[in-house]
């Protein structure tokens, strides 16, 4: 028996179809969003492109067959994500954010909750979900056992209801398409202000039309120019008590599971951006002589730099594939490789784009050159979705400190 990296015919078809979709549809995003100054308008301008992704089945692909979806694996989704993000990061990020908002339900909700909330996204894929995790004070210590630290959004039990109060920001998709809120939020909160995360952290499902959910504005960002990053306030938001996923204290593992899924897929997104940068640099090197006698690819230092970039892309791609496969075969229990893929690929993307810019020269540092925009997009990867320093490396450190840590489990699988 051999370890194979050969894609199956089905996997090849997924990549081919995603590449064709990206080239036919997503190439139009950059020009469209450039027409608008505000982050809200740029996001709203992506709606027709998002609709095409819905039509192509990307939202349904994230939902299991038993609940009306098509049940694409994480690895399959990664194959598509690389192709999509190599053309545009914004619209695929909105799809990924809906997936993140649904992950607590997909991985941890009971059957009744799944049947109540998942069919909405099968019936109308334009509906947006959002994971309301990041506090305005920061998201790095959401799992803190200290009741004076960590998550400040509090859910208080009153009879048959939870009453939620708190403030969040960078809640991707949180404004919805109309500025009034996403269709559904999964909200990270504490059920007791006197208890730390191990006893009180929880995730509660909140329909976006619930009174008290307020969109307070949208944060403008340097990259991901049409990705929606609003501030959301929850003011005396009342939902049924049975909307809690699991029980108080389960929020740590639920959040970890959700971010494990996106961590692996951000690896694929980072590879997509790196690939776009490499293609840009390679084309430039083949055509431009920089006032010299031959195209610069004929020079050894240029060739070596291109070789280094390509090696990094290949390494990142296969780590991503391994992390996604491990996530799938462990039934979403994988945590180490998914965090490693997020950290390694995201930071490598910044270096790869920078090296491509060095190869091209100062022209790449203008708004007329695609590499400048790719750098703006790449810089986000290490910082968002569980920042590499505050969250991802800290979690890897915690794993390695644990007495039962097996350093070979990532290679051989859990024993």
Asked if 177 and 228 count as a contact pair (C-beta separation under 8 A), the reply is: no
Marked catalytic residue, from 160, 250, 385, 406: 385
Q: List Cα–Cα distances, 232 to 31, 79, 170, 203, 216, in angstroms.
A: 29, 32, 8, 16, 6
Burial class (CB in 10 A: 0-12, 13-18, 19+), 1: exposed
Q: Measured between alpha carbons, how far is residue 124 from residues 74, 119, 140, 233 in Å? A: 22, 8, 34, 26
Burial 148-184 (b: 16+ CB within 10 A, else e): eebbbbbbeeeeebbbbbbbbbbbbbbbbbeeebbbb
Which of 121, 227, 104, 106 is CA-nearest to residue 174? 227
230 and 218 Cβ atoms separated by less than 8 Å: yes
160 is catalytic: no
> What is the C-alpha to C-alpha distance for residues 353 and 374, in angstroms, rounded to an integer?
7
Q: In DSSP terms, which residues pair with 185 in a beta bridge?
A: 130, 206
Angstrom distances, CA of residue 405 to CA of 258, 259, 378, 401: 22, 20, 32, 7
The Cα 136–Cα 153 span in angstroms is 10
C-alpha dihedral over 103, 106, 108, 112, to 10 degrees? 140
Q: Which residues are catalytic?
A: 385
């Amino acid at each position: 028996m051999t370890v194979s990296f050969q894609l199956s015919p089905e996997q090849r078809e997924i990549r081919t179809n995603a590449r064709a979709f990206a080239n036919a549809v997503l190439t139009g995003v950059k020009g469209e969003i450039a027409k608008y100054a505000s982050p809200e308008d740029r996001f709203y301008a992506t709606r027709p492109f998002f609709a095409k992704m819905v039509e192509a089945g990307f939202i349904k692909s994230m939902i299991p067959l038993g609940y009306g979806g098509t049940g694409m694996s994480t690895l399959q989704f990664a194959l598509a994500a690389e192709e999509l993000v190599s053309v545009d990061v914004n619209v695929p990020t909105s799809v990924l954010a809906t997936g993140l908002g649904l992950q607590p339900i997909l991985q941890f909700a009971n059957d009744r909750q799944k049947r109540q909330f998942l069919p909405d996204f099968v019936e109308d894929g334009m509906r947006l979900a959002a994971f309301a995790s990041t506090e305005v004070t920061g998201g790095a210590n959401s799992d803190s056992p200290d009741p004076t630290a960590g998550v400040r959004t509090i859910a208080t039990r009153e009879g048959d209801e939870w009453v939620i109060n708190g403030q969040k920001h960078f809640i991707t998709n949180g404004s919805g398409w109309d500025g009034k809120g996403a269709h559904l939020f999964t909200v990270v909160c504490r059920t007791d202000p006197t208890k730390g995360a191990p006893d009180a952290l929880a995730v509660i499902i909140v329909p976006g039309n619930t009174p008290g959910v307020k969109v307070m504005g949208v944060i403008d960002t340097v990259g991901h120019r049409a990705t929606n990053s609003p501030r959301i306030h929850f003011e005396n938001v009342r939902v049924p008590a049975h909307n809690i996923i699991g029980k108080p204290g389960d929020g740590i593992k639920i959040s970890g599971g959700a971010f494990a899924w996106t961590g692996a897929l951000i690896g694929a997104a980072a590879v997509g951006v790196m690939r776009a940068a490499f293609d840009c640099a390679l084309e430039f090197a083949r055509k431009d002589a920089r006032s010299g006698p031959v195209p610069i690819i004929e020079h050894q230092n240029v060739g070596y730099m291109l070789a280094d970039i390509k090696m990094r892309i290949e390494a990142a791609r296969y780590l991503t594939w391994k992390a996604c496969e491990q996530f799938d075969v462990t039934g979403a229990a994988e945590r180490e490789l998914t965090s490693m893929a997020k950290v390694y690929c995201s930071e490598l993307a910044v270096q790869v784009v920078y090296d491509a810019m060095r190869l091209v020269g100062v022209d790449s540092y203008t708004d007329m050159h695609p590499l400048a925009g790719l750098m703006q997009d790449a810089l986000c990867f290490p910082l968002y979705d569980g920042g590499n320093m505050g969250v991802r490396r800290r979690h890897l450190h915690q794993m390695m400190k644990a007495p039962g840590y097996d350093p070979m489990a990532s290679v051989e699988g859990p024993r």
